[in-house]
Amino acid sequence: MNRPPAFVRKLDLDRGVVELAHGGGGKATAQLVAEVFAPHLDDAELRQADDAALLDLGPGKLVVSTDAFVVSPLFFPGGDIGHLAVHGSVNDIAMRGAKPRHLTASFILEEGLPLSTLSQIARSLASAARQCGISLVAADTKVTERGKADGVFITTTGLGLLPPGRPSPSGSLARPGDAVLVSGPVGDHGLAVLCARGGLSALTGVTSDTAPLHDLVDALFAADPRIHTLRDLTRGGLAAALNEIAHQSCVGMHIDEQGIPLRREVRAASELLGVDPLNAACEGRLVCICAHEASSPLLAAMRSHPAGAAASLIGHVTDDPRHRVVLTTPAGGRRTLLWPTADDLPRIC
């Protein structure tokens, strides 16, 4: 095993900041890794400090996903960028039916970032990974000059295994007549970040739902494997996810607006900020499209799992050749749920 190099002076984790030299690849980089990251992220494969991790994944198909995290602010009620960086990749792996196994992470740090902030983020990332039962097996750190990044950006790659014999859900497999289920209230994460950005967290009381979904997915497959599509409701929220799936599968959808779970405080914050909560991201919710006959067992499985306690059947898939997602409003009217525009809610994750 590698012995960490001995440094003349320890980093001051309370008052120190990231310096350009910490990204130089020399002694300062080694010290940053040893004293800020290693106390939290200490997987045997990572400790080897080789150029790449050698992994034995066993039987099953490899599932890979990568995601960058640029959320602002870095900390918000319910979590921080470290939690998001784990949950985002874990959930994308889980949406293909796979069990997450390993994670890699790349950290872009801005010169001047307090070491105490970085240390807190490393701790959150490590605790989220532990909770998911996955290990961080490879990582990299780079530093930009002051003003060239915003505190810290993290990119993670998740590696998972599709259990042999399990059909992998896909956005292209929704069929007319399928049921559309959502695992819980929507919009929490997006509104929590917007409220934190505007100094409104205490007023609105909105908390991010950031959480891993792989265990819920396992429970769903155990209940009924006739799952056609799974998608986590991240950027663009429920509106983006349903429109993406409708186009991928060349189908339409009918959704009953009243069936969509929405927390009272999220609804109030949405009205305050002029945001449609159906366009706002979640980080711990999924939409599940399944054979009509599987909807009852899957809804029951969701509701008996802590990550899906407030799950709801919200509609069904149609054969609309224009791939529209049509909402029936509480008053009985109809409107098309549009694909959110790109710059609606920037830097939410």
The residues that touch Mg ion, with contacts defined as CB under 5 A, are: 92, 232
- Please state the closest distance from residue 305 (CB atom) to Mg ion, in A: 19
Give 85: exposed, middle or buried? Use CB within 10 Å, 0-12, 13-18, 19+. buried
Smallest separation (angstroms) from Mg ion to the CB of 23: 30
Which residues, 6 or more positions from 156, have their beta carbon under 8 angstroms from its beta carbon? 66, 67, 69, 85, 86, 88, 89, 103, 104, 105, 106
**Closer to Mg ion by Cβ: residue 92 or 111:** 92
Residue 234 Cβ vs Mg ion, minimum distance, rounded to whole Å: 5
- Distance of alpha carbon 306 from alpha carbon 311, whole angstroms: 10
Nearer to Mg ion, 43 or 92 (CB): 92
Q: Cα 110 vs. chain centroid, distance in angstroms?
A: 23
- DSSP-derived secondary structure letter, 114: B
Considering the complex, what minimum distance in angstroms separates the CB of residue 286 from Mg ion?
9
The single-letter DSSP state of residue 72 is S
- Closest distance of CB 241 from Mg ion, Å: 8
Provide the edge-to-edge strand list for the sheet that holds 179-182: 227-232, 286-290, 179-182, 312-318, 252-256, 325-328, 334-336
Q: Which is nearer to Mg ion, 88 or 185 (CB)?
A: 88
Q: Closer to Mg ion at the Cβ: 207 or 229?
A: 229
DSSP class of 339: P
The type of residue at 235 is R
When the beta carbons of 89 and 141 are compared against Mg ion, the nearer one is 89
Q: Which is nearer to Mg ion, 94 or 269 (CB)?
A: 94
**DSSP one-letter string for 132-187:** HT-EEEEEEEEEE-TTSS-SEEEEEEEEEEEPTTPPPP-TT---TT-EEEE-S--S
Least distance from Mg ion to the Cβ atom of residue 244, Å: 9
